[in-house]
Each structure stands twice: as C-alpha cells, then as structure tokens.
Chain A
Amino acid sequence: MGSNGNQHTITALVQDKPGVLARVASLFRRRGFNIVSLAVGNSERAGLSRMTFVVNGDQGTVDQVTSQMGKLIDVVGISDLSDQETVARELALIKVESSASNRNEIVQLVHLFRASIVDVGSQSLVIEVTGEEDKINALANLLKPFGIKEMMRTGRVAMVRGQAEGRVSDGVGAGRRPEASIQGRVDYEGV
C-alpha cells in the first residue's frame, strides 16, 4: 500500500526543535532526493513530531534517504513503510466556482466522495475531502469543469496498520539502520 510504482512513503519521528525542518529539507536538497510531499505535525509523544514524506526513487535511493536522515541528530527514528500494510490519507481543500444553477450537481459529487462542503459563497464553494491521493485526484478531475479557483493539499500522512509501529522506535536514529532494506538484495549489479 505504501509504495506506488517507485513512490515510497517514509515516516520519521523527529525532535520538536527549531530548525529540524530546515535540516531535513537541506539534506533532501543536497543529496538530490525528490520529495513528492511532506507533512509534519505533533506526535503522540510530547516534544516529538511525526513527519510523513513521499519520495520518488528506486529502493537504493530510498535506502539512502532513510539512512542519511537517520544520521540527523534530531531524527529519533525513521522507517520506510513501502512493504507494509498502511493506512494513508491526505486532506484537501478545494474552492470551486459555483452558482445557484450548478450547485446541486456539485453537492451530489461531494456526497458521492463522502466529502463535505465547509463554506458556501455566492460564487464558490469550499470542499473538504479526505482520502488516498487517487480519490482526491478523481474528485479534483470531476470538479475541474466547474472551475477550480484554489486547491490546497496536506500531503500524505501514513501509519502502519495493527500492532506494528512501523519500526519507528527509539534507538533507530543516528546509526541504526532499518536492517531489512540492505540485506535482502545483495546481488551486485554495479551501481
């Protein structure tokens, strides 16, 4: 679920300190990693935040992302969720042009997608939709003919299903490698 082609979902537990985001961003820029989305927010533990980011790249690149990020002193733990059963969601706010004449049509779409209308103006509606990217893309596509004036998406947040903690645990940071990633693929193909 976590991976889509060569897209990987990675989550990290980081210390809630000034500059953490800059450190992560600087690392991605410097190593040339391609971020598709990044979401940050408080975690269940005081003083720690969780980041979810989606990166593009082959397994080698993603291993580099996780092991380089794991070295950042403020990163407590990091895990590639790609091989795991995850719940992944994104939230989007979409402001779409609407007049009295087409409002009903839009409302029907919104219901179909279990989205909701959070603001009604004389010439526009603001729609809130949550789900996986595909669902949001589909709704956005259907709304396009009405005229999307503004769209804002949070980027993916993801969590491993069931008991597992996504291998994000203490002691993973700064030196401890998520073991599995390198061991399974030892065949040497050059680089």
Chain B
Amino acid sequence: MKLTGAEIVCESLLKEGVEVVFGLPGGAVLPLYGALSRYPQLRHILVRHEQAAAMAADGYARSTGKVGVCVATSGPGATNLVTGIATAQMDSIPIVAITGQVPRPAIGRDAFQECDVTGITLPITKHNYLVMDVADLAATIKEAFHIARTGRPGPVLVDIPKDVLQGERAEFVWPEAVNLPWYNPPTDAAPDQVAKAAKLINQAERPVVLAGHGVLISHAYEELRQLAEKAQIPVITTLLGISSFPTDHYLNVGMPGMHGMAYASLAIDRADVVIALGMRFDDRVTGRLRDFAPNAKVVHVDIDPSELGKNVKPHAPVLGDVKCVLRQLLPLVHRKVRVEWLRSVDTLRSEHPSLNIRETEALLPQFVLRQLSQITEGKAIIVTGVGQHQMWAAQHYGFKDPNTLITSGGLGAMGFEVPAALGAQVGCPDRTVWSIAGDGGFQMTMCDLATAVENNIPVKFAIINNGTLGMVRQWQDIFYNKDYCATVYSANPDFVKLADAFGIPGIRVTDKSQVASAIQQAMATPGPVVVDFVVKQDENVYPMIPAGESVREMMEEPSPAELRHER
C-alpha cells in the first residue's frame, strides 16, 4: 500500500524505535501532525517554544543514549530550533530535527514562512537534508538516524516540503542498511598507535587521565576505571566528562580548567604524560595553550580525526572509539604502584582544597548544591543552565552514577536547564531529575513549565536565585571595574507565584536552615516543583583561571576585599 510522506515519516520513526517526539506544529508541517494522531505509539510532547523541543530532545538523548527527535514548522519554527541544534552539535549529541518546508514549487520565492533551514544549519549539524522526493523519505530518515548516532554523534536535520509530506504517495520501503559506503567511523585503533600510547603510559612517572564526554558516549566507564586502577593513574574529568568516573573514587581528582579544582589544574601542570580520552582540549580546559601541561607528552584518543592535533598536537594520536581503544590498551599497560605521584597529588589536594565552603550567615549557593548532593546521595540526574550555578553544580555535586550531569558545555546556552531537564525526565521516568537553574537562564525558557504540567513531567526545578546574571557580573567584578552594567535584575518575577500560576507547587528558601527541608519536601511532592533559593547576590566562583591565561594566574579563593563585608 502506498503511504503519504507524513505516514512514511511516522513509519520510519517507529522503525527507528522512536517513542517520543518533542515539537510544535505550523502550516508546513501540519500534514505530519495529521498522521501523528494516527500513531499513538509515537508520543508527541507539545512544547511552548521550539527551542525547548530541540533542547528536550537533547536532554532525552543525553540521558538515554538514544536519538532525540524534535519537530518544527518551516521558517520561524525551524529558526527557533537553531540554538538547540547548535548546542547538540557542540556537545556531540544525537538528535534528529524534522522541519516542515514550504511546498516545492514555492521554494526560492520567499514564500510565507520560507527560510533556508538547511543553509542556516549547515555549520551546526553533522549533516542535513532537504528531501525533494517522497520516494527518498524512508531511506533519508534511516540515514539521518544512523549518522546522528554513530561515530562522533551529532544533530541531523531533515527538511521536508509540505507537498512531499502530503499529496504524493510512495511505497514504504524500509532499507535493510544505509547506503553510505564511505562513511566508516573508526572503532578499533591502528595497533601501532595503541602500542605507542601504551609505551608512553608505561614510561610515565606522573601520568594523568583527562576523561571527556567521549568516555560517556562510548560507555567506557568500566574500562576507564580498569585503566586508572591498573596503572594507578589519577583521573581528571572535563565538565562533560563528569560522572564518567565515580566522584568518590580515590583516583578522582576533579575537574580542571577555568573553574575547575585548583589541584586538578595543578596536577595537569605537573604531569609528564596526559592521557586525553574523548575530549577536545577546549579553551576552558586548557587556558593559554602554550602553558598547558608544559611538562607532558600527550596521548590523545578520539573518534574524530579532526580533533587530533586541532588544539594540542599529541605525541601519540590514537584514532578510535574510546571504549574499543581502552580495551586494546588495557593488556599493554603495565600494572603500577605510584606511591610518590599519588602522594604529591594528595598534597596538592590538601594544600589547595578549592571546595571548602565558608561559614557565613548568608545563604551561599555552594551550600545549596552541597545539601542537594547529600540529600539525593549523588544519585539524581542534574541538568544545569549556564553560569555560576553550573560551575557550582559541577564542583559540589557528588555524582555517583555514570552519565548523570547534563549541561550545555560547548555552546554554553542559557535556558538549557528547563527543557533539557524535561527531556531527561521523559527519557528516565524512574529517576529523580533536578534542574539547577540560574534566575537568568530560567527566565529564558520558563514558559515550558506548562509543558511539564501538561505532560506530568516531575522535574524538580531549583532556581539558584542571585538576582543577577551572576557569571557575567563576576567578570564585571573582576575584569571590568565592578561596572555592573546590565547584569543586576531590578524586577525579577516572584518565582513562587509564577509556579503557582502554572499550577506547580513553589517553595521559597531564604535561609540556610530551610534548605534541607525544602529539598526533601520537593522530592516528596509528586509532579514538578519549583524551589526558589534566594542566595547571596555577589558570590563569585572560585577557583578561576581568567580566559586565555594559565594555571599560574589562577585565583584560588575570594580576595580579602571580597570577604571584608562579611565580618
């Protein structure tokens, strides 16, 4: 039987095992919605803004490892997806975005709601398609999912003109395999590359592992733990690598970089071999490249050939999937006892504690995160926005389980915290999901609280409410003469009343003594809850390595001037 394009899309999604799509309809994509209503197996979650659709698909993908799917109409619907797609591209997240396009005869004529979406998303997708023939639809969708999830994952956009979705029909033929003969993402690495890496690791006296997102994407936590324990190598995790190695493991040395723990950055500084696994030497990790790991030879394992040598030139480049490579590497790596090096790392840790929280009257944001970590026993899925609260979450939450921090690392997109948490919760209905929001980021996407209510998505929203665009204020504080231009809100909404307007219970916390009970109450309440933590306004994140500088310019803790008014 011949199907319409819209039906073919639905059938294809089912073949791909899709259970949920996030979207918002409009004229050009309406035929697809006409078919969706006849496919109850495909749960559609209606968002309030398409950015939330893309970011929910992203959160879903990050929490489940499956491909997230979002749908939008042509023109403004599609452009609203853009920030979410760019987020997914920067953080290597598999999503498939399906957009409606104006009918084929109208393309190129500036038709109503026409927009060159494949053009716009060219540099922010792993690949994209404009499907001009209904007969190509099934194969294209199969290809899109394949490309999104394999190799270094990423977003793929499929733009479908309205008259390809409806009108013409085609036989639904689901291809057995994709036809991409020259798309062969690496798996195992070349043995000589592995041997060379092993040699460097075996010769090392002061090695560190720098574990990135690739460890999580390839599910290599077990292999990473084996490597670390066998050769007694301290493990440092990048922001997106957090939770790839248990936080409380004796070899875990925290996060490096701009707001990483001082001891982590210092350990890299002292190391003689850096073993970089599935990470890309982002500038927030390295600071000034010339001064990064100055004493170290670099082993760099990555699935993306263009990362090898892009920022840091490795002595031992290893092209392959992290899990496969670690399996190849493990038998070649010697068992070691490294009393001296581990002791000196411990000394760094005790001399540069980095995570101490001051005793203050005021409610410190760090304190909230620490309490949340204790009460949830480090077992919640934490979804953050971007800014100070994000860094405090990365520093103070003790992640127990793999893959439990969901954060916009590469793009740093504020507003991620609400929709990505919805997606993560939809993907993991049995887990506790906490959205850690800035009051700034929260206001970018809070309209989608309605989506949480409508679909009964029980995310707990913690607003770390400092009344400012905190991280930017911090830069003004330190680098711009305390000129707080456009960073302090003079009229924030009452977030408890706001929650009420959405039909969500809201709790306000203004004092340290209320923190634990509010967290417990939120978790005991079914459905979504908003907790407004009104914290000290002018708290800065430390340590801090200013952009473009090195560990030698690190500011480890608040200056005496900063603390004076507390006494």
Interface centre among B147, B182, B190, B304 (most CB of A within 10 A): B182
User: Size band of the A side of the interface?
Assistant: 35 or more
Residues of B within 8 A of A71 (CB): 304-306
Residues of A within 8 A of B (CB): 18-19, 22-23, 26-27, 30, 60, 63-64, 67-68, 70-73, 75-77, 170-177, 179, 182-183, 185-191
Instruction: Check B298 against A188 for contact (C-beta < 8 Å).
Output: yes
Residues of B within 8 A of A22 (CB): 119, 122
Question: Is residue B315 contacting chain A, with contact meaning CB distance below 8 A?
Answer: yes
In the complex, A172 Cα to B314 Cα: how many Å?
Answer: 21
Instruction: Check A190 against B289 for contact (C-beta < 8 Å).
Output: yes
Q: Distance in Å from the Cβ of B220 to the closest Cβ of chain A?
A: 18
A sample of 26 inter-chain contacts (CB < 8 A) reads A22-B119, A27-B123, A60-B313, A67-B306, A68-B306, A70-B305, A70-B306, A73-B127, A73-B183, A170-B181, A171-B182, A173-B184, A174-B151, A174-B183, A174-B184, A175-B303, A175-B305, A175-B319, A176-B186, A177-B308, A182-B314, A183-B317, A186-B314, A188-B297, A190-B289, A190-B290
Q: Decide yes or no: A182 and B317 within 8 Å by CB, A60-B309, A73-B127, A171-B182 being known contacts.
A: yes
Residues of A within 8 A of B304 (CB): 71, 175
Main SS of the interface on chain A? loop
Nearest-neighbor residue (CB-CB) of B315 within chain A:
A186
Instruction: Check B319 against A177 for contact (C-beta < 8 Å).
Output: yes
- A-contact 0/1 string along B188-203, CB 8 Å cutoff: 0010000000000000
In the complex, A71 Cα to B123 Cα: how many Å?
Answer: 12
Q: Decide yes or no: A63 and B309 within 8 Å by CB, A73-B147, A175-B151, A190-B289 being known contacts.
A: yes
Instruction: Check A191 against B127 for contact (C-beta < 8 Å).
Output: no
Across the A-B interface, give the 8 residue pairs with the lowest CB-CB distance, nearest first.
Answer: A177-B305, A67-B306, A173-B182, A191-B289, A67-B305, A174-B183, A190-B290, A175-B185
Residues of A within 8 A of B313 (CB): 60, 185-186, 188-189, 191
User: Size band of the B side of the interface?
Assistant: 35 or more
Nearest-neighbor residue (CB-CB) of A68 within chain B:
B306
Q: Distance in Å from the Cβ of A74 to the closest Cβ of chain B?
A: 8
In the complex, A22 Cα to B298 Cα: how many Å?
Answer: 36
Residues of A within 8 A of B181 (CB): 170-171
In the complex, A177 Cα to B307 Cα: how many Å?
Answer: 11
Instruction: Check B317 against A175 for contact (C-beta < 8 Å).
Output: no
Instruction: Check B184 against A175 for contact (C-beta < 8 Å).
Output: yes
In the complex, A187 Cα to B297 Cα: how many Å?
Answer: 9
Question: Is residue B180 contacting chain A, with contact meaning CB distance below 8 A?
Answer: yes
Which residue from B122, B180, B317, B319 sits with its C-beta under 8 Å from A23? B122
Residues of B within 8 A of A174 (CB): 151, 180, 182-185
In the complex, A172 Cα to B118 Cα: how many Å?
Answer: 25
